[in-house]
């Protein structure tokens, strides 16, 4: 089963647009990523620029409204993610536990939906999805 590990770095909400992690932190994280890869569980990973260079499109009242970052009212923001393929939720948790994260970081673990879990009618609704193939 696939899980997404969502990295929520402490204080990332107020990080400057040109924020960069230390060389030491990068090295530790690369080692961790290598371990995931060599265990055969890593499917994908990405790191995100801080929200200060991002934007939010909200749909209050059904109308899109655009706000530029940073977003002081938002407490937890994403810093990146991994998608892993493991046997159980427990294993996903164990992998998250091993992450060389910093003080105040949080990793949230969420199972990825598989198309086969959807009931037939939802699968039909998603049928046009095949047209999206690049």
Partner 1 sequence: MTATRAIEAVWRIEQPKLVARLVRYLHDVGLAEETAQDAFLLALERWPQDGVPGNPAAWLTQVAKNRALDRLRHTALIDGKHRELAFDLAELERETPDLEAALDEDIDDDLLRLIFTACHPVLPAEQRAALTLRLLGGLSTPEIARAFLVSEATVAQRIVRAKRALRDATIPFETPRGEERRDRIAAVLEVVYLIFNEGYVATAGPDWLRADLCGEALRLGRSLAALMPDEPEAQGLVALMELHALRFAARTGSAGDPILLLDQNRSRWNWSLIQRGLDGLNRALALTPTPGPYLLQAMIAASHARATTAADTDWIAIAAYYQALALVAPSPIVEINRAVAVGMAFGPAQGLAIANALRDEPRLKESHLLPTVRGDLLEKLGQVAEARAEFHHAAELTSNDRERGLLLARANCRPV
Nearest distance, CB of residue 30 and partner 1, angstroms: 14
Q: Of 94 and 104, which CB lies nearer to partner 1 in the complex structure?
A: 94
Minimum distance from residue 62 beta carbon to partner 1 (Å):
29
Task: Indicate the residue among 55 and 129 with the shorter CB distance to partner 1.
Answer: 129
For residues 47 and 25, the answer to whether their CB atoms sit within 8 Å is no
Q: How far is the CB of 114 from partner 1 (least distance, A)?
A: 8
Q: Which is nearer to partner 1, 75 or 113 (CB)?
A: 113
Distance CA 72, CA 121 (A): 41
**What are the residues whose beta carbons fall under 8 Å from the beta carbon of 42, sequence distance 6 or more?**
33, 36, 82, 83, 84
3-state SS of the chain: helix, strand, coil percent to 5? Answer: 35, 25, 40
Q: Considering the complex, what minimum distance in angstroms separates the CB of residue 104 from partner 1?
A: 19
Q: How far apart are CA 38 and CA 35, in angstroms?
A: 5
Residues lying near partner 1 in the complex (CB under 8 A) are found at 1, 34, 37-43, 85, 87-91, 93-95, 114-116, 120, 123, 126-134
């Amino acid at each position: 089963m696939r899980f997404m590990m969502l990295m929520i770095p402490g204080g990332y909400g107020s990080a400057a647009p040109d924020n960069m992690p230390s060389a030491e932190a990068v090295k530790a994280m690369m080692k961790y990523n290598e371990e995931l890869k060599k265990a055969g569980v890593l499917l994908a990973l990405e790191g995100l620029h801080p929200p200060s260079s991002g934007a939010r499109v909200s749909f209050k009242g059904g109308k899109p409204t655009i706000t530029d970052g940073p977003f002081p009212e938002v407490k937890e923001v994403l810093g990146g993610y991994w998608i892993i393929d493991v046997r159980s939720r427990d294993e996903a948790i164990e992998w998250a536990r091993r992450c060389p994260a910093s003080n105040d970081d949080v990793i949230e673990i969420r199972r990825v939906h598989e198309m086969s879990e959807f009931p037939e009618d939802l699968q039909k609704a998603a049928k046009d999805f095949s047209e999206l193939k690049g």
